Structure 1
Amino acid sequence: MLDLDPYLLRAFLAVAEIGTVSGAAATLNRTQAAVSMQLRKLEDLVGVRLFSRSQKGLSLTAQGQIMLPYAREIVRLGDEAGKRLSGKTIRDRIRLGVVEDFAAGHLIRILRNFRDQNPDIEIDIIIEPNRRLAALFNDGLLDLAVCDVTCLSRKPALVWTEYMMWTVRSDFVVDAGEPLPIIMFDEGCPWTIPVTGALSQRGIKWKTACVASTLVAVAAAVRVGVGIAPMIANTQPEGCRTLDKSSDLPGPVRIEIGLYNQPDMAEGARYLVDFITRHAAMLPA
């Protein structure tokens, strides 16, 4: 039987999250030597290498990636058992910033389930564009942020891959003889570059039909029939469709959304990060 010591698993999780032994040691209030020893003990116990080491720090191996969700669940269950047995509940308030396109879809289900299970944790949900969320997070005004990974230089706790599909009103007809009318994001949006790149990659002639700065504005422009907009699939409005795949049309636009947390976050925020991570299967892969 494999008896996984939560004390070792906490060291493993801290290093996996931060990427360095020194950073994990500071977070755990342990010495670097102690954390290094705990990692070696855990690797000896499971019989595989969990981290690959380089000048940049430590990153999870394939076996480490397999270990990660199990370690989180074991530590979580131990913490939860302690709280339930002692009669303690978490009372906290979390400032969660989410980019509008992501908040409108999958994340709602996870947050609803979290609130149902943790009614004493209040969540303030702040909806802003990607770069605005990054600025608020860097200024310490958000506990957690969900935004495009290109907007923050630190390592995210979790990353989701999304694809923006080219969306039009159901009766919209593409005129092959004219430039595609594109509903474009404003200049500061990080998704502008991959969108224009997808158009240029196939040498497609296009024009900016209008500029929309919010999801509501994009959806309205599509429904009016102004043009074609790149939208995450589950945000497409009623009465609209995705353009059929064709060599004459742009392909889906790949973007990555990251979940970021402050290094000194409170217990409630840490519990929400763990909860989202455990339920990541409810979100796009």
Structure 2
Amino acid sequence: MRNLDITTLRSFVAVAESGGVTRAAGFLHLTQSAVSMQLKRLEELLGLDLFDRSGRSIALTASGEQLLVYARRMVALNDEVMTRLTDQAYEGEITLGVPHDIVYPAIPQVLKQFHAAFPRVKVQLDSSFTLRLKSEFAKGACDIILTTETGLDAGGEELAVRPLCWVGAPSGSAWRQRPLKLAFGRQCTFRPRVVEHLDEAGIPWDVVVETESDRTIEATVSADLAVHTMIEGTEPPHLDRIDHGGTLPELPAHRINLYGAARAGGEVQDALVSMLRRAFKAPESVQLRTVSNL
């Protein structure tokens, strides 16, 4: 009798759902080679090809699609058993503040891991702008916050330093136009630095979208009506990093900071802080695409 390994199935599900080994490895906190080896062993055990590797991206074969249905159920059942039998009955609520632009891809995975470990503790996610989150934290309305900023205030902890990058529509051409059309949030902390670098490079620009809604920005950029800037590694899948070949200025790095680790929050809050550290201090885990400059 051959037995399927839950750890291997978890890696298989992560690769299938994230669309690549690199991203899945980041979510699982494993190396790419470890995940690839698990997939290889799974295919050898079943005697089947689960992935179609003939294209630029990984796709599931018919057998892979069939296994995915079972694998999700088996992993979910495993997690349910572990939660029910090891639940230490922690209860309560933690308010976590995270800027809009770094919610994905890390935060959903952190929330999932935290819920599995502390199913009776509610995490109230407050997604907003850095300036507002710092104000709410100062008032005690948030227990833990992440920020994106150029400096670090007292009591904060730097998790990562990543450059800003230009993003646009897949195969888009808006980045070639002059004046350069920009889409920004009204309270975006990146905007002054981006405008400063465009002025220094002598590139005319025009803010065509100024809004409170990230969805509005993403829709405008996806339609190739403007470009935007994001912290490298946080681009949504429907936007591409622009490979401008030097025709746009290189942008400065920003810090991803954490505030709240020093507050007495007990074991539960400490666990959430540890998960956030791992998620953002880990090597960049997202497979990134670029808009060709040819």
Which bin holds the TM-score, normalised by the shorter protein? 0.5 to 0.7
Q: Summarize the alignment of residues 133-282 of structure 1 with structure 2, pairs less than 5 Å apart.
A: 133-149=133-149, 153-174=153-174, 178-186=178-186, 188-232=187-231, 233-238=233-238, 240-261=239-260, 263-267=262-266, 268-282=268-282
- State the shift of 1:259 in Å: 1.1
Name stretches of at least 5 consecutive residues in structure 1 with no aligned partner: 1-86
Q: Which amino acid aligns with 2:127?
A: I
- What's the counterpart of residue 80 of structure 1? none
The separation in 1 between residues aligned to 2:254 and 2:235, in whole angstroms, is: 15
Whether contact under 8 Å (1:164, 1:231) holds in the other structure is: yes
**Count of matched residue pairs:** 197
Kindly state the Cα deviation for residue 276 of structure 1 after the two structures are TM-superposed: 2.6
Structure 1 partner of 2:100:
100
Query: Which residue is equivalent to 1:111?
Result: 111
Tell me the secondary structure at the aligned position of residue 234 of structure 2: helix
Task: Quote the offset at 1:146 in angstroms.
Answer: 0.9
Deviation of residue 153 (structure 1)? 2.9
* Runs (5+) with no aligned partner, structure 2: 1-86, 286-294
Distance 1:175 1:139 in 2: 41
Tell me which amino acid in the other structure corresponds to 1:105.
P
Structure 2 counterpart SS, 1:111? helix
**Mapped partners of 1:93, 1:229: distance in 2:** 35
The CA RMSD measured in Å over matched residues stands at: 2.8
Question: Distance between the aligned counterparts of 2:137 and 2:283, measured in 1?
Answer: 22
> Equivalents in 2 of 1:230, 1:192: separation in Å?
8
Q: 1:157 is paired with a residue of what secondary structure?
A: strand
The C-alpha deviation readout for 1:103-135, integer Å capped at 9, x for no partner, is 122222122112212223221111111111111
- Three-state SS of the structure 1 residue aligned to 2:250 is coil
Aligned to 2:13: none
Identify if the C-alpha distance between structure 1 residues 259 and 242 changes in structure 2 by more than 3 Å, giving closer, same or farther: same
Any idea what SS the aligned residue of 1:97 has? strand
Asked whether the equivalents of residues 230 and 253 of structure 1 are also in contact (C-alpha less than 8 Å), the reply is no
Q: Name the CA distance, whole Å, in 1 between partners of 2:214 and 2:227.
A: 14
What secondary structure does 2:164 align onto?
Answer: strand
Label 1:217 to 1:103 Cα distance change in 2 as closer, same or farther (>3 A): same
Q: Secondary structure at the match of 1:124?
A: strand
* TM-score normalised by the chain length of structure 2: 0.58
